[in-house]
Amino acid sequence: MTGAARTAIGQCAGLILLIAPQQTPVDARISQVDFRKLLAAKTVAVVDTRSEAEFTRGHVPGAISLTDADLSARTAGAVRAIAVLKKSKSPIVVYCACPAELTSLRVADALRAEGLADARALTGGWVEWFNAGNPVETGK
């Protein structure tokens, strides 16, 4: 991926977030460093909560696309994704476009409610992953 393309798809939408503190379990997040170790060892399932268009432009290698809206609506795609995650029996790392992990925390909570106890949000999300120059796949 070229430098210009990396810059173009790695920028956040210019949003300013004013957030009330959330009550989340201490282990509800995983650091980028710990995630990279799991990914390198191929011992993790990865969930991208961004839109299909964002996912297609670039995502963490091996990630599956599962939006918050699809999960909430229990679409056929969401049901299939949950089944795949349950079969993998691997820890699950969820990321979103928001560096504050708002959507990924919500999706990780929903996955834990589905019986996937080891679902955690990636600290810094896609923005930090991408901007650090980590590996990116394109397409579906």
Structure token digits, residue 7: 């810059």
Q: Give me the pLDDT at residue 99, please.
A: 83
How far is residue 68 from each of residues 31, 71, 106, 109, measured CA to CA in Å?
A: 21, 5, 8, 11
Which has more pLDDT, 4 or 57?
Answer: 57
Question: What are the domain boundaries of the chain?
Answer: 45-140
Q: Give me the pLDDT at residue 27, please.
A: 78
Q: For the domain made up of 45-140, give the CATH fold.
A: Oxidized Rhodanese; domain 1 (3.40.250)
Q: Average pLDDT of the chain?
A: 86
Give percent above pLDDT 90 in the chain. Answer: 77
This prediction's pTM: 0.82
1: three-class secondary structure by DSSP: coil
Mean pLDDT over 64-71 rounds to: 96
What is the distance between the terminal CA atoms of the chain, rounded to a whole angstrom?
16
Q: Give me the pLDDT at residue 140, please.
A: 83
Confidence of residue 98 (pLDDT cuts 50, 70, 90): confident
Beta strands in 9-122 (DSSP E): 29-30, 45-48, 64-65, 92-95, 119-122
Question: What distance separates the 2 farthest-apart alpha carbons in the chain?
Answer: 41
The tens digit of pLDDT for each residue in 12-57 reads 444 444 443 444 555 799 999 999 999 999 999 999 999 999 999 9
Q: Are strands 64-65 and 45-48 parallel, antiparallel or unpaired?
A: parallel
Which secondary structure element, helix H or strand E, spans residue 58, and what is its range? none
Q: Give me the pLDDT at residue 26, please.
A: 57
Q: Is 56 exposed, middle or buried (0-12, 13-18, 19+ CB in 10 A)?
A: middle
CA distance 46 to 106: 15
Mean pLDDT over 78-87 rounds to: 96
